[in-house]
Homo-oligomer: A and B are copies of this chain.
């Protein structure tokens, strides 16, 4: 087999953009990397705590995975690393297996990253990216909103300085209520102040800086450093005033150094228990990642390759698993920052990894006095921007089925946790789609006088022949609606003694599967028993090709007409047609 360098570039996109890498690209990527690093240090610590893991695992998940994505990923602006929703899902998945704070818990998170990596890689290599299409937009929107609420609520305990647990909204609220009297006032002050400050940084700082003469870009970058300012100020306060002696929880000892080499657990039992969660995390992570990557690529008229994105994210997660991290994906907010800061290639991600590695080597001692409440404030402000109930209003007006799917996703996510919520959303979306297509729109049609067009006899003044019934079915025929069609036609002919021909008009039939074919054979036989011929009209090319492979056309008592008008001319007694009265409909 000859060596084809294109195929290598397909699997290693770095060979493509890397070969054209120039000095000015390096400068732009470098600036973006600095900004993302500043944003990522507090976020990575915070999300690790959200996942129930030691803070340093957040840093570890922000080093090697970014390098792996830079080699295999196709998006030029995607910022990979720990993200809020996946961290919450990790806590839910691993929490079933082990207690937070134990070595088993961390090991299970590493194993989860490994499994998720394998699943993403497999989906990429077998081009199964279409699985992500089964998550409908409304379900994703509902899930993200509900997750934002869950995450913000889960952090409230750190703002209050109490211990409380739970994976669902009722559990969390009950635990918070129960522990409310134990609130640590100093922690509360730090937490509320940090939250208020970060909200102000997000909304008020940038316009103020621009007013004072800063360029919009510099103002934007300064605003992104808000969380770092909050971290520095509250850490200093905790150090100077010895707040940990007054019950303020601090991050404490974070091991200094580069990520350790780790291995996932190779236990069939653990893999089996984590598999379902790993599939959900992989798909949710992929959807979040690919959505933001596509949006950003389109702004520069670039394209990403979704199947190769799966490989990139898969490699990232395996990298996380072998370097003490936990499941990662492309984060929405950080990717937008990376793009806005001028990142031009995935190298920006690799440079970010260097920044985080330096932080892991030299900054961790400085994080000792960082109050947990500050990290909680960072998370709360970040995730509340994800909460958006407008999807409920939009779907209510447009499609009640989609509304039902969103509402169920939101309520079940809040009430029963992330895995139940998103699973129910997917199942409900698919179920409602199948339900809709299982009762297709079927109309009996007649000829619009003076034209070759046929329209619904209940909506229009049309010509019909009592000996001919033309039934137009507005859906592909497949197993879910095969019985419906059979019932509809047999009900239609019952007691109609004048009928000699039934024409099935198929312009909207894009497929006839084996179940539907058997139903058509049955209809043909039953009509034949009653002395009625079955005809088809306007069958599409691919459907006709398929029918020719079966015996159906041999058994068909009638003909197949290219157009409905030709069918009516051949079968109907055009001169004796009587106009039907227009029904109220």
Q: What residues on B are CB-neighbors of A437 within 8 Å?
A: 476
Q: A398-B550, A507-B507 are in contact. Are A435 and B130 (CB under 8 A)?
A: yes
Interface pair A138/B514, CB less than 8 Å apart: yes
- Residues in B with CB closer than 8 Å to A549 are 397-398
Residues of B near A459 (CB, < 8 A) are: 541
Do residues B515 and A441 form an inter-chain contact, with CB atoms below 8 A?
Answer: no
> Top 8 nearest A-B pairs by Cβ distance?
A136-B479, A137-B515, A402-B514, A136-B515, A474-B510, A508-B508, A133-B480, A138-B514
Chain B residue at minimal CB-CB distance from A439: B130
Tell me whether A514 and B479 are in contact (CB under 8 A): no
A444 to chain B, nearest CB (A): 15
List A residues 388-446 near B (Cβ within 8 Å).
394-395, 397-399, 401-402, 429-430, 433-441
Q: What chain B residues lie within 8 Å of A397 (beta carbons)?
A: 549-550
Q: List B contacts of A517 (CB < 8 A).
A: 398
Bound complex: CA of A533 vs CA of B518, how far in Å?
A: 44
Least distance between A530 CB and chain B CB atoms (Å): 9
Among listed A208-216, A236-244, A481-489, interface-contacting one = A481-489
Q: Chain B contacts of A482 at CB under 8 A?
A: 133, 137
- Asked whether any CB of chain B lies closer than 8 Å to the CB of A171, the reply is no
Q: Are A476 and B475 within 8 A (Cβ)? A: yes
Answer whether A513 and B136 are a contact pair too, CB < 8 Å, given A398-B546, A399-B546: yes
Copies in the complex: 2
Docked-complex contact A133 and B479, CB < 8 angstroms: yes
| Residue pair B130, A514 in contact (C-beta under 8 Å) | no
A491 to B294, CA, bound (A): 13
Q: List 7 A-B contacts (CB under 8 A).
A: A133-B438, A398-B549, A401-B513, A402-B513, A433-B479, A441-B542, A508-B510
Taking the closest CB of chain B, its distance from the CB of A176, in whole angstroms, is 28
> Can you add 9 more A-B contacts, CB < 8 Å, to A130-B438, A433-B478, A459-B541?
A133-B480, A303-B491, A303-B494, A394-B550, A399-B513, A433-B479, A433-B480, A433-B513, A474-B540
Given contacts A138-B515, A430-B434, whether A441 and B510 have CB atoms under 8 Å apart is yes
Chain A, 480-523, CB within 8 A of any chain B CB: 480-484, 490-491, 494, 507-508, 510-511, 513-515, 517-518
The answer to whether the Cβ of A233 comes within 8 Å of any Cβ in the partner chain is no
Residues of chain B contacted by A436 (CB below 8 angstroms)? 511
One digit per residue, 1 when the CB lies within 8 angstroms of any chain B CB and 0 when it does not, for chain A 540-558 equals 1110001001100000000
**Does A134 touch B at the CB level, under 8 Å?**
yes
With an 8 Å Cβ cutoff, the count of chain A residues facing the other chain is: 60
A354 surroundings in chain B (CB, below 8 A): none
Residues of B within 8 A of A433 (CB): 434, 478-480, 513
Cross-chain contact of A526 among B298, B440, B494 (Cβ < 8 A)? B298
Q: Does A135 contact B (CB under 8 A)?
A: yes
Which residue of chain B is the closest to A508 with respect to CB atoms?
A: B508
Q: Chain A 278-310, CB within 8 Å of chain B: the 1/0 string?
A: 000000000000000000001001010000000
With a CB–CB cut-off of 8 A, which chain B residues contact A507? Answer: 507-508
B residues in contact with A440, CB < 8 Å: 510
- Contact residues of A with B, CB < 8 Å? 130, 133-139, 298, 301, 303, 394-395, 397-399, 401-402, 429-430, 433-441, 456, 459, 474-476, 478-484, 490-491, 494, 507-508, 510-511, 513-515, 517-518, 526, 540-542, 546, 549-550
CA distance A535 to B512 in the complex (A): 30
How far, in angstroms, from A437 to B438 measured CA to CA in the complex? 14
Instruction: Closest B residue to A484 by CB, please name it.
Output: B133
CA distance A399 to B433 in the complex (A): 22
Q: Which chain B residues border A508 with CB–CB below 8 Å?
A: 507-508, 510, 540
- Pick the residue among B137, B476, B515, B550 that contacts A479 (CB under 8 A): B137
User: CA of A546 to CA of B441 in the docked complex: distance in angstroms?
Assistant: 14
Kindly list chain B residues whose C-beta atoms are within 8 Å of the C-beta of A491: 303
Query: Given the complex of chains A and B, what is the CA–CA distance between A101 and B133 in angstroms?
Result: 49
Say yes or no: B135 contacts A479, CB within 8 Å: yes
Taking the closest CB of chain B, its distance from the CB of A212, in whole angstroms, is: 34
- Which chain B residues border A483 with CB–CB below 8 Å? 133
How close is A496's CB to chain B, nearest CB, in angstroms? 13
A430-B510 Cα distance, complex, nearest whole Å: 16
- Highest count of chain B CB atoms <10 Å: which of A441, A456, A511, A541: A511
Shortest distance from the beta carbon of A549 to any chain B beta carbon, whole Å? 5
Bound form: Cα–Cα A303–B399 in Å: 34
Q: In the docked arrangement, what's the CA distance between A303 and B492, Å?
A: 13
On whether the beta carbons of B475 and A510 are closer than 8 Å, the reply is: yes
A494 CB to closest chain B CB, in angstroms?
8
Could you tell me the distance in whole angstroms from the C-beta of A448 to the nearest C-beta in chain B?
Answer: 12
Min CB gap A354→B, angstroms: 34
Chain B contacts of A441 at CB under 8 A?
510, 542
What separation, in Å, do the CA atoms of A507 and B479 have in the docked complex?
22
Q: How far is the CA of A479 from the CA of B130 in the complex (A)?
A: 11
Most buried by B among A130, A133, A433, A549: A133
CA–CA, A133 to B139, complex, Å?
25
CB distance from A563 to the nearest CB of B (A): 9
